[in-house]
Structure 1
């Protein structure tokens, strides 16, 4: 199946699930407080519906415009802009007739469900699969900076150890890049000395200029031979499967990043390579280096676990009991939300250039894997659920956060904003959301045509 189609199916399934559960977060407390819910829709039904059925007092349906969903609560100024009903006298079952604290709970229900859902997913993932990671302090000879220009921008280089970001210790290799994106200061160890480097405010923009090079920080890969190529100038040389390179002409060459520059230096010459055999013994082998700095071997496609056996780093898998998975899932949810807030701060800082990374449906869809992978699907769904929770709680009229803002004002001051004011605020908020939607998806289109 085409990777784009797989991503699209995953995006559609994930968003449908999140929208339904978000709206249930409003629907359930509304029912508990005996507030009439007139419609419950997945997607918007402008002019017509793909499906609808009335059960009790509520019409359940699926719209044709996949930009979200909604519940239409009687007596509430929402995206339906049903102002005619608001001109009538309030009814006991209407939203506007309920105490402010009940209305507040109804409005907070959606984002609460989104966050709780993400935590539940994280709990399930860590309980089922555990966590496999490379401890940052296990990297025997530091990190591998695969893109020198990006490393120079940050002030880091191959062999460094990144100890902390903004004073917070880095425990896992895979956490380094996300922390750098959201952070301001690096703590680095190089040649036994520790120092700090400021992270350029526009580093996100620099990184976005070439997405293919985004994962430029990795573990250093040992140079392990699988076999000699058939057309290799070294076809008769005693190089064996799983030989690990140790040195070239007496110079250390354990890792791929060390081998490449040495072969460049010895182009067209014969060199002595010291290799470590599978039995642990070492042997010197004379090999020819071609004019394009190759020795004609195929490297072993080892797994992370196989490479860890060389001693270059270690791999840990942490398993959780069900009770242990609950706080672990909660912490992961909180950490994901905190990181997203840090990212939003970067977006609102024009100097960072992070606003260029704001994306719409294409950007969200690209997060999903190209092949169907349930753990990856659920992890991505949890991330999007966190994003939806945060975006919906922003104090923008037409979003849940806008309604919450006005309700808090009412609770604090004892004065309820007029229906006319709420109508105008809803219209302004809706126009603002349309503008943001156009900007985000416009960014996606610009990135697509500029490739």
Structure 2
């Protein structure tokens, strides 16, 4: 429960900040051009009976804008006079146009008002990334420094890769780091026609088609490629099954229930198999039998293997902390001055956007549709503990996603309004009010369907249905 609340708090704080600044971008340009903003709300104040749905609101003196917070945390809105938006206020549109209304302003001003939110989110992301670079610098594990090489699945081996190959680069350039939030490492392989590796101390090249499916590379278990990390115990939790059995830091697991183990991926795969077995066990006796495992372990400094028996926890944990890249390799650490952090942050933010846009095309596939997630998936991106570096990194990432999603040409989103404004600027004709209303209805319907679909995916994943 505690980890859930920590994730929830981070998620709500990040989304509130992004929505506040996004809508603030719209309001800034609206007030800059003399357009009246009637309401500025974080979250939606959907009416419930006679209740207006407002958690609180206030209207400063000599200000036309009512500020407040609604109860439904699905976004926010900035109600602009003389504009057909999600409020669908047609009564206002029946009145004579007023000089302070959106509809009476030049098209270029209306365009800036509409892209104001997206612009703020994108600039905010670049600023956050810049401050991350300034505060923490950039730390990563260079792929070519991973001397134990990589672990490959059957699909990768069929193309010519072998376990322990050290990845050097492709015809597109050298590899930087194994993976980051936008999957550059996998994308580079997917688009490569040649991958250079170091095998037994000699450089070799592997030919690839250049158009591999990156999504399947990431979704397949085991992964297409991942760093070779031995199943070495980093530390043991006090009172855990592993501690009671005598396991210690530095021990290396070699097998579980007779199944060979080389890496933590192998170990996690085998516990995943046990989890499937547990799902069909109906009695406590059957469950206990499934959790009772036999491990062969090589103790630190020993040459012979030791057989260890233990009963895993109900959630199939041994009670050990796994070794990681940091257990075997020293990360590359780059520090930036205040001025240097801005180009570094902008470059990183642009790469994140480029990667996210590149991945967007996979949503048209069946696997891509299944990967769409709702609030649960987004919330799970935050760590189960409070970490300012991760919080700001995820906030910047979500800011980029929010900017990109809002600029999509879907009615009811900023991008839909931009399309209609561009049409007006090119043809010198405004779309009719009737058309705009029906477009808004269609856009809202599309967004509701997408929201239901995304959150349904979360529920199905939670139920282990997919």
Q: Which bin holds the TM-score, normalised by the shorter protein?
A: 0.7 to 0.9
Q: CA deviation at 1:305?
A: 5.6
Matched ranges for 1:323-402 at <5 A: 323-348=339-364, 350=365, 353-402=367-416
Task: Say if 1:362 and 1:215 are closer, same or farther in 2 by CA, change over 3 A.
Answer: farther
**1:174 correspondence with 2:179:** yes
Matched ranges for 1:32-181 at <5 A: 32-47=32-47, 48=52, 49-55=54-60, 56-145=63-152, 148-149=153-154, 151-152=156-157, 156-164=161-169, 167-175=172-180, 178-179=183-184, 181=186
Query: Over aligned residue pairs, what C-alpha RMSD do you find?
Result: 3.7
Task: Say if 1:399 and 1:151 are closer, same or farther in 2 by CA, change over 3 A.
Answer: same
CA contact (8 A) 2:147 2:166 kept: no
Match of 1:287 among 288, 304, 327: 304
Q: CA deviation at 1:111?
A: 0.4
Task: Say if 1:96 and 1:367 are closer, same or farther in 2 by CA, change over 3 A.
Answer: same
Task: Say if 1:218 and 1:80 are closer, same or farther in 2 by CA, change over 3 A.
Answer: same
> For residues 290 and 128 of structure 1, what CA distance do their matches in structure 2 show?
47
CA contact (8 A) 2:27 2:78 kept: yes
- CA-to-partner distance for each residue in 1:273-296, whole Å, 9 max, x for gaps? 9x99xxxxxxxx75355599xxxx
CA contact (8 A) 1:226 1:243 kept: no
Q: CA deviation at 1:241?
A: 9.3
In structure 2, runs of 5+ residues without a counterpart are: 237-242, 253-260, 267-297, 310-318
**1:185 correspondence with 2:203:** no
> For residues 219 and 340 of structure 1, what CA distance do their matches in structure 2 show?
27
CA contact (8 A) 1:185 1:196 kept: no
Q: CA deviation at 1:180?
A: 5.1
Alignment correspondent of 1:295? none
TM-score w.r.t. the length of structure 2 is 0.76
Task: Say if 1:334 and 1:177 are closer, same or farther in 2 by CA, change over 3 A.
Answer: closer
TM-score w.r.t. the length of structure 1 is 0.78
> For residues 242 and 362 of structure 1, what CA distance do their matches in structure 2 show?
36
In structure 1, runs of 5+ residues without a counterpart are: 245-254, 261-272, 277-284, 293-297, 309-313
